[in-house]
Amino acid sequence: MSKILVTGANGYIGAHVVKEMYKQHLNFIATDYDTWHLKGIQSFQCNLFNEENIYENAGNPEVLLHLAWRNGFVHNDINHMKELSFHYTFITNMIEKGIKHICVMGSMHEIGYYEGVIDESTPTHPMSQYAVAKNALRQSLEIYCKEKGVIFQWIRGFYIYGDDTFGNSIFAKLQQANKDGKTTFPFTTGKNKYDFISIDDLAKQIVAVVKQDKINGIINCCSGKPVSLADQVEWYIKEYNLNLVLKYGAFPDREYDSPAIWGDNTKITKILGESHD
């Protein structure tokens, strides 16, 4: 079994991914600048952008699952573009060291304003610093991996919920508001439709992708179903017994948020099916 190095393993997504890998008895090692989430997981602390011997410290892995990214929920944070070249340099250096298969976490926000279902050929028009940086990394790595004959997988993530104590999404904000004793929650119109996926299901999909090397390129990790934000949030409030009432229309919808956008799950459905055969 190939050895997998997982970066960003202490993050919101990463912590769930390595727990799923552990459950499946995969051969992997996890890393992050802090590893407090990773009790019982084989891991080491490092700064990906400043240390030279990560490949050796990880035990010469064959596969890289790159989940590391800072402030992903803050779409116009200055660090997205400032650190873009660091991500590219780290990944290409790992390839030069001997990695033959890379899998990187992307985002549906790369698409930008779009209405309808997204597949791997949907044109990208990113409209935030986060989306621009992710899209540029994907395009650069596609070229580099093709030149080097390296397997390239780009996981396009959608809207995540679950374990929201550690997240920074609207669901985390709902949990915090409830904890603070608030009874109302300022909200948008809630009419936009998105593709929601639980963090546990996303982790299982990511692990299924990186375990195989037959289905590659852009892979949507998603539910494949559009659900209105209002319906999803109302369901969430009920499911988690939150004492909150939504105050609709308190905030305007973001100009780059699409009226309805969801993922084509053809690839991930096939991967999941084959992983269970």
Phi, psi of 40, rounded to the nearest 5 degrees: 85, -5
Concerning whether 130 is annotated as a catalytic residue, the answer is: yes
Residue 153 CB partners (closer than 8 Å, separation 6+): 101, 102, 103, 104, 209, 210, 216, 217, 219
- Any idea what DSSP says for residue 96? H
Are residues 6 and 28 in contact, defined by beta-carbon separation less than 8 angstroms? yes
Q: Which two tokens stand for residue 169?
A: 């999404």
d(CA 207, CA 7): 13
Rg (CA), the chain: 19
For residue 269, which phi and psi values (nearest 5 degrees)?
Answer: -65, -40
| Proportion of the chain in helix, strand, coil states, percent, rounded to 5 | 35, 20, 40
Active-site pick, 12, 55, 130, 159: 130
Structure token pair of residue 127 = 């409209």
Burial class (CB in 10 A: 0-12, 13-18, 19+), 215: middle
- Tell me if 90 sits within 8 A of 49, measured CB to CB: yes
Cα 218 to Cα 146: distance, rounded to the nearest angstrom: 14
Residues marked active site are found at: 130
